[in-house]
Amino acid sequence: MTIPKHIPVLTDEVIRLLDPKTGDTFVDATLGLGGHAAAILEHIGPHGKLIGIDQDEQALQIARTNLRPYQNQLALVFGNFRNIGQLVKGTGTRLVDGILFDLGLSSYQLDARARGFSFNKQANLDMRMDTKGSLTAEIVVNSYPREKLAEIFREYGEEPKAHIFARKIVEARKKRRIVTTQDLVEVIGGPQAAKQPWRAGRRGRIHPATRVFQALRIEVNDELNAIREALPQAVELLRPASGRNGHPALRGGRLAVISFHSLEDRIVKRFFQDLKTGGSVNILTKKAVTPSWSEASRNRRARSAKLRVIEKI
């Protein structure tokens, strides 16, 4: 089997800000193919431990192969990070030194034709990160009422034509079921939109289906609620700073989150600010860290990435 390649985003910045040390215990809550995990494992050494979580069983299997040199330091867990507290404690771990979330869709999932995440690839309208889940994008577009579709496109896709696209979908599905990615693209953008891959022009235009696909993916996987549920649990898992008998305090555990669109970043930013106001963390990133020009030019999927990091006190 050919092992898919993955270029992790903001790896140098993640390592610098999480600052993993020899013997530390870390959690990669969105393991993917293991790119960030490998970098962390290099720093925590043979006496360190990394717990890798992912709800995509295929990705987890690939990560196991990619991280084989570190198998004695590694605990791989299948599950949704919205249950991170339970999943981590299930490995016998109570507190950790650092946690990383790399949110959204992985390059592997986007490139996997059968998963139906990309409007540039003909596939069934699936979009499940956990392939055992019951809700698919096909069910959403063929059964949700027009008002609910418009709400999803507006809230999750920030789509200005939400009501127009919802109406088009409802009218189209009266004639025949919308089954594939290209069926949906044609409904939204017309026959020409489905005939060839779309590339942004000089004025930065995007494919008319871009925001609709994003919104459907978020709805199918309940992504924003999962983030809201996971972040407080993650903070509880972090080791607090400590110092005794006049000795300098050991630094607290650190939580790093990489987001890729404004909805995710807004949740993370507000949560971190609320924690700081409550006096329980320090924010280590006054502004979100973004990729360098060099990284963005090498990896176009990194361009929208934003990294925020806190330390428990």
The residues, ordered by sequence, that sit 6+ positions from 306 with a Cβ below 8 Å of its Cβ are: 258, 259, 260, 265, 288, 289, 290
In this prediction, residue 207 carries a pLDDT of 83
CA 273 to chain centre: 21
Instruction: CATH number of the domain at 128, please.
Output: 1.10.150.170
1 falls within a domain:
no
Does an H or E element contain 99, and which? strand 98-102
Tally of structural domains, the chain: 2
Residues 126-160: pLDDT tens digits? 999 998 999 999 999 999 999 999 999 999 999 99
Same domain flag for 177 and 208: yes
Same domain flag for 90 and 48: yes
Q: Of 169, 187, 221, which closes a domain?
A: 221
Q: Of 185, 203, 221, which closes a domain?
A: 221
Per-residue pLDDT averaged across 20-38, rounded? 97
Per the CB < 8 A criterion, the answer to whether 117 and 223 are in contact is no
**Residue 239 vs residue 244, higher pLDDT:** 239
Quote the pTM value.
0.90
Same domain flag for 203 and 276: no
CA-only gyration radius of the chain, Å: 21
Same domain flag for 123 and 250: no
55 falls within a domain:
yes
Same domain flag for 146 and 160: yes
Same domain flag for 209 and 253: no
Same domain flag for 298 and 166: no
261 annotated to bind ligand = no
2 falls within a domain:
no
Same domain flag for 80 and 163: no
196 annotated to bind ligand = no
Confidence class for position 286, pLDDT limits 50, 70, 90: very high
6 falls within a domain:
no
Q: Of 181, 206, 221, which closes a domain?
A: 221
4 falls within a domain:
no
61 annotated to bind ligand = no
Give the structural domain span for 70. 11-108+223-312
92 annotated to bind ligand = no
Residues 184-240: pLDDT tens digits? 999 998 765 545 554 444 345 678 899 999 999 999 999 999 999 999 999 999 999
Same domain flag for 164 and 241: no
Same domain flag for 238 and 209: no
Does an H or E element contain 268, and which? helix 262-277
54 annotated to bind ligand = yes
5 falls within a domain:
no
Residue 158 neighbours by CB distance under 10 Å = 14
Same domain flag for 235 and 103: yes
109 annotated to bind ligand = yes
Instruction: CATH number of the domain at 23, please.
Output: 3.40.50.150
Q: Which residues pair with 309 in a beta bridge?
A: 256
Q: Among candidates 95, 53, 99, 94, which has minimal Cα distance to 76?
A: 53
3 falls within a domain:
no
Same domain flag for 243 and 210: no
6 annotated to bind ligand = no
